[in-house]
Structure 1
Amino acid sequence: MTYLRTWTNDVPTVRPVLLCLPQAGAGALQFQNWQLRLGSRATVCAVQLPGREDRWGDPAPSGIAEVVETVVAELADAGLLGRPLVVFGDSFGGLLAYEVARAVGPAALVVCVCRAPVHWTRQGGLDDDDVEQLASASVEGSSLPSELVAEMREIAAEVLRRDAVLSTTFRIPPDAEPLRCPVYAWGAVHDEKVTPAQLDDWREVTTGPLHRHDFTGGHRISREDPLALLGQLSEVLSDLAEEEPS
């Protein structure tokens, strides 16, 4: 089954394209509403990793390199690499977004609550504590019976464990070329997982400018306040539209 999901039929004519990579344990369906919100300002295209939503039974990829190779091939087949492309990644999705950006050279890379690549190499990928915390957060506030909440939490933990294994395959090649596009590194003032310094270090990955912004909220800002996130993304997309020659 394919990785890419879209919710509009006008991919060839709408510009730019917003390619979204979700946080660990999450699927692509959350971005369907983003297409409704952004309308004709962008075509939203999301990556659906194996093991979630409509890909529940698909085998896990061998590593990040396989994910990137497949996503880039599907972007090319869909004719999207000829369009202005903004790559967006949320949390662990930001690391995947960086790897995709290295492969395609987008107009902009946007990462949210994701530590810079150098910190992934220093600290390693997602660990058991990350899995437990994120699994608990996924069912926090649920009004379902406790036995269903426990079942949902274990399902979330199973998907997160797969992403944790995937995260350990990240490597920065010694001859990696820096990006040339602007990088937008967004944080959250109450995020206890990613520090401002870890976000500031995204400046190391590009010869273009680094734009920093901090939302009011925590690590799950994309779920807590998606409208604030979309507001910032709309500005990025508008800037690109203004820059493109008619």
Structure 2
Amino acid sequence: MTYLRSWPNGASPAAPVLLCLPQAGASALQFQDWQVRLGASATVCAVQLPGREDRWGEPPPASIAEVVGAVKAELADAGLLDRPLVVFGDSLGGLIAYELARAVGPSALVVCVCRAPAYWARQGGLHEDDVERLASASVEGSDLPPELVAELRDIAAEVLRRDAELSKTFHDVPGTEPLRCPVYAWGAVADETVTPAQLDDWRDVTTGPLHRHDFAGGHRISRDDPGTVLGRLSRVLADIAEEEPS
């Protein structure tokens, strides 16, 4: 099954493409509402990794490189690499978004609550304590019966462990050619996972400008307050559209 998911949008062939990569354990479905909100101003595509929703029964990818190669090929087949492209990655999705940006050369890279690549390489990807914390956060505040909450948490932990193994395939190779596009590194002031310094160090991955911003909220800001994140993303998309030659 394919990686890319998209939804009806009515966007012109010249409109920007917003390619979204979700947090560890999450799926492409959360971005369907982003297409509804953006309307015809952009085409929203999202990456659906194996092992969730309609890809539940598929084996996980062997590496981030495998994911990047497959997504790049699908973007090319759909003609989306011929349009202005903004790649958005959320947490672990930001790391995959970075590798994808290196492969396709987008108009901009936007990473949200994601450590800079050097930190991922040093820590060796997500650890079991990250998995347990994120799995618990996924069901926090649920009013479902306790037995159902426990079952959903176990399912979330299973998906997160697959993503943790995927994250460990990233290697920050010294001397890697930097990106040339602007990078937007966004954090959240109540995020206990990603520090401002880890976001500031995104400056090292590009010869273009680094734009830093911190939202009010925590690590799940894109899901807890998607309107605020999408509002800022809309401005990035508008700026990119204005820069493209007519």
- Counterpart of 2:53, as a letter, is E
Distance 1:85 1:192 in 2: 31
Q: Which residues of 2 match residues 29-48 of structure 1 at below 5 A?
A: 29-48=29-48
Q: 2:28: which partner in 1?
A: 28
Q: 1:148: which partner in 2?
A: 148
Distance 2:173 2:119 in 1: 15
Normalised TM-score (structure 2): 0.98
Q: The residue matched to 1:114 in structure 2 has which SS?
A: coil
Distance 1:16 1:216 in 2: 27
- Counterpart of 1:170, as a letter, is F
Whether contact under 8 Å (2:22, 2:90) holds in the other structure is yes
Distance 1:11 1:217 in 2: 31
Distance 2:153 2:14 in 1: 38
Distance 1:11 1:35 in 2: 10
Distance 1:4 1:58 in 2: 15
Q: 2:3: which partner in 1?
A: 3
Distance 2:151 2:166 in 1: 23
Distance 1:147 1:31 in 2: 29
Q: Which residues of 2 match residues 1-246 of structure 1 at below 5 A?
A: 1-8=1-8, 10=10, 13-246=13-246
- Counterpart of 2:129, as a letter, is D
- Give the deviation of 1:8 after TM superposition: 1.9
**Compared with structure 1, are the counterparts of its residues 203 and 39 closer, same or farther at alpha carbon in structure 2 (3 Å cutoff)?**
same
Deviations 1:16-35 (A, max 9, x none): 00000000000000000000
Residues matched between the structures, number: 246
When the two chains are superposed, the root-mean-square deviation of aligned CA atoms in Å is: 1.0
Whether contact under 8 Å (1:139, 1:149) holds in the other structure is yes
- Give the deviation of 1:11 after TM superposition: 6.3
- Give the deviation of 1:173 after TM superposition: 2.6
- Give the deviation of 1:175 after TM superposition: 3.7
- Give the deviation of 1:172 after TM superposition: 2.0
- Give the deviation of 1:123 after TM superposition: 1.5
Deviations 1:93-149 (A, max 9, x none): 000000000000000000000000011111120000100000001001111100000
- Counterpart of 2:183, as a letter, is V
Normalised TM-score (structure 1): 0.98
Whether contact under 8 Å (1:7, 1:32) holds in the other structure is yes
- Give the deviation of 1:174 after TM superposition: 3.0
Whether contact under 8 Å (2:11, 2:41) holds in the other structure is no
Deviations 1:137-170 (A, max 9, x none): 1001111100000000000000000000000000
- Counterpart of 2:94, as a letter, is G
Distance 2:114 2:124 in 1: 13
Whether contact under 8 Å (2:11, 2:39) holds in the other structure is no
Q: The residue matched to 1:101 in structure 2 has which SS?
A: helix
**Compared with structure 1, are the counterparts of its residues 231 and 119 closer, same or farther at alpha carbon in structure 2 (3 Å cutoff)?**
same
Whether contact under 8 Å (1:12, 1:79) holds in the other structure is no
- Give the deviation of 1:242 after TM superposition: 1.1
- Give the deviation of 1:10 after TM superposition: 4.6
Q: The residue matched to 1:207 in structure 2 has which SS?
A: coil
Gaps of 5+ in 2: none
Distance 1:189 1:234 in 2: 21
Identity %: 78
